[in-house]
Amino acid sequence: MRTLKDAKIGERVTVKRLNGEGPIRRRIMDMGITKGVEIYVRKVAPLGDPLELTLRGYELTLRRADAELIELADRDGKEER
């Protein structure tokens, strides 16, 4: 399972699924990260946390712990097995 935490700088990825429960999942969804959304990884801080992303026409900074809850589709856009 590949997560947003594993994405490299300059990569465009698509959200497959959100893991996590309750308020954490709701907060991620409120930021605009939902199934099928394309995310561009702009930067990663020198120590690896946080990540700077572009999605839905705006920029977002996300903690690595939250990025680990966002599962990605494989590079072909198909679901991984």
Summarised one tens digit per residue, pLDDT across range 12-53 is 999 999 998 899 999 999 999 999 999 999 999 888 889 999
pLDDT interval class at 9 (50, 70, 90): very high
Please give the model's pTM, rounded to 2 decimal places: 0.82
Residues facing 43 on adjacent strands: 52
- Per-residue pLDDT, 48: 80
Domains present along the chain, CATH in parentheses = 4-72 (2.30.30.90)
Min mean pLDDT across 16-20, 33-37, 69-73, 74-78 is at: 74-78
Question: Could you give the CA distance from residue 4 to residue 39 in angstroms, rounded to a whole number?
Answer: 9
Q: pLDDT at position 74, please?
A: 79
